[in-house]
């Protein structure tokens, strides 16, 4: 079964520190966590009585994984029950990057009800497919999804190259980490 520690290492290697890029629809972000997500988590990190950008600036990698990634993304996909680490990496990273689309896009591929909720039928369909073939199909679909975003909203074109570079580093049986310009490949066994 898939393990969050493998994907968390990858995601954190690609997510930078604090950013508040004007073209980023997520607004203020730290370690890949948006201010809206941090507010939903509800943790007043600095203890001043409100949850704001000052709290977001203070989050640690441990906060990003334990308070955000695990409960809101990994568990949303019920990824502990996904047999293929590679498929789990790809689908959870898609939800991390694009919210509900990372579930509904996969549900369309699987031919199950497209409701954005991972239930028994979605998991059974996912685990019942050839993992390597499903991985390739999900990756192609995610590339098309990125192309559609940029076509629909040209202001997002500046992010396209980075999104595709990151996606290119999610492979069947390996993840390419990106830390301070030094790439490292993390290999893992898969089904």
How many C-beta atoms surround the C-beta of residue 186 within 10 A? 16
As a whole number of angstroms, the distance between CA 77 and CA 88 comes to 8
Q: Which CATH superfamily is domain 4-186 in?
A: Chitosanase, subunit A, domain 1 (1.20.141.10)
User: Mean pLDDT, to the nearest integer, of 91-108?
Assistant: 96
Predicted confidence (pLDDT) per residue in 36-47, tens digit: 999 999 999 999
Predicted confidence (pLDDT) per residue in 20-66, tens digit: 877 666 788 999 999 999 999 999 999 999 999 999 999 999 999 99
Three-state DSSP class for residue 153: coil
Q: Where are the domains of the chain?
A: 4-186
Predicted confidence (pLDDT) per residue in 159-180, tens digit: 899 999 999 999 999 999 986 6
Sheet holding 182-187, edge to edge: 170-171, 174-179, 182-187
In this prediction the pTM is 0.92
């Amino acid at each position: 079964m898939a393990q969050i520690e493998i994907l968390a290492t990858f995601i954190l290697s690609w997510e930078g520190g604090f950013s508040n890029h004007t073209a980023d629809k997520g607004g203020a972000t730290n370690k890949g966590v948006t201010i809206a997500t941090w507010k939903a988590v509800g943790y007043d990190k600095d203890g001043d009585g409100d949850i704001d950008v000052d709290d977001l600036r203070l989050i640690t990698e441990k906060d990003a994984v334990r308070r955000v990634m695990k409960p809101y993304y990994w568990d949303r996909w019920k990824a502990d029950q996904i047999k293929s680490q590679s498929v789990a990496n790809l689908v959870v990273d898609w939800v991390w990057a694009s919210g509900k689309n990372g579930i509904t896009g996969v549900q369309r591929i699987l031919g199950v009800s497209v409701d954005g909720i991972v239930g028994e039928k979605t998991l059974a369909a996912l685990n019942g497919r050839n993992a390597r073939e499903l991985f390739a199909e999900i990756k192609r679909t995610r590339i098309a999804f990125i192309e559609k975003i940029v076509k629909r909203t040209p202001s997002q074109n500046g992010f396209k190259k980075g999104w595709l570079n990151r996606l290119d580093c999610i492979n069947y049986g390996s993840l390419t980490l990106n830390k301070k310009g030094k790439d490292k490949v993390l290999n893992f066994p898969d089904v």
